Amino acid sequence: MTFKREDGRKVDEIRPISAKVGIIPNADGSAMWQSGKTIAIAAVYGPKEHHPRNQRDPEKGTLRFNYNMLSFSVTDRIRPGPSRRSTEISKISEWALAPVVMLEDFPNMVVDVHVHMIQADAGTRCAGINAAAMALAHAGIPMKNMVSSIAVGKLDKTVVVDVNKHEEDYEEGEGSTDIPITMTPDGKITHIQLDGKITKEQLMEAIEMAKKATKEIYEVQKKALKEIGK
């Protein structure tokens, strides 16, 4: 029996996506990314002097990522301010982007990336990375490549792309496994997380699905950057 998704999507079908670059005039770079009901905005400031001084790296620049979920982004209000979850997602997002940013071009400096979730319906770290990658490009930060991010999931025994919150909470059979993946347009993985149980074959299937989905995402990111002349 094939798995039926609650919103009628095919297993390899992502939610409707949209992007806009240049949404925050005062930032050096900014962008919005929307996947279904998940909306992220990103603002980039820098490269600028790195404070505190003792955190400066004379070999290369520093990427400082700040992920934040706004209190009204979900139905149960979220307590404002940093949490263990936001600290972890900030680090992971930083690591997902760092391999494509030419940090060696700005030693001793820092680039601040602020990501805020306006609405959350799962996949927020991926939406944040998609918005941040566009905002970095918009800010003119030298990059080797773009990155695009998507969460693949396994619901019971079926691998599906772009899980929403309803799917993430799926508990029947083998339950829900969430695999956020970030890739360059040529399919190099800069980030993969695996939370749950999956066979090697299904993991390969998940990566293939992510490859197809990130290509679609990349096209939308590229178009949004072109629209603003970047």
| Footprint of ligand CDP (CB under 6 A) | 74, 78, 85, 120-125, 151, 165, 168, 178
Closest approach of Cβ 75 to ligand CDP, in Å?
A: 7
Closest approach of Cβ 122 to ligand CDP, in Å?
A: 4
Sheet holding 158-161, edge to edge: 158-161, 148-155, 176-183, 189-192
Nearer to ligand CDP, 16 or 140 (CB): 16
Nearer to ligand CDP, 165 or 211 (CB): 165
Nearer to ligand CDP, 109 or 207 (CB): 207
- Amino acid, res. 128: G
Nearer to ligand CDP, 55 or 71 (CB): 71
Nearer to ligand CDP, 62 or 90 (CB): 90
Closest approach of Cβ 40 to ligand CDP, in Å?
A: 10
Tokens of 178: 């969430």
HSE at residue 184, side-chain half, CA atoms within 13 A, is 12
Closest approach of Cβ 110 to ligand CDP, in Å?
A: 25
Closest approach of Cβ 127 to ligand CDP, in Å?
A: 8
CA angle (182, 21, 36) in 5-degree steps: 55
Closest approach of Cβ 109 to ligand CDP, in Å?
A: 29
Nearer to ligand CDP, 118 or 228 (CB): 118
Integer Cα distance of 202 and 157 in angstroms = 9
Integer Cα distance of 131 and 144 in angstroms = 17
Integer Cα distance of 117 and 50 in angstroms = 26
Detail the DSSP E strand segments found in 11-138. Answer: 17-21, 29-35, 38-49, 62-69, 109-119
* Distant-in-sequence, close-in-space partners of 122: CB < 8 Å, separation ≥ 6: 38, 151, 163, 164, 165, 167, 168
CA angle (161, 167, 9) in 5-degree steps: 50
Tokens of 29: 């770079």
Nearer to ligand CDP, 115 or 141 (CB): 115
Residue closest to ligand CDP (Cβ)? 124
Closest approach of Cβ 77 to ligand CDP, in Å?
A: 9
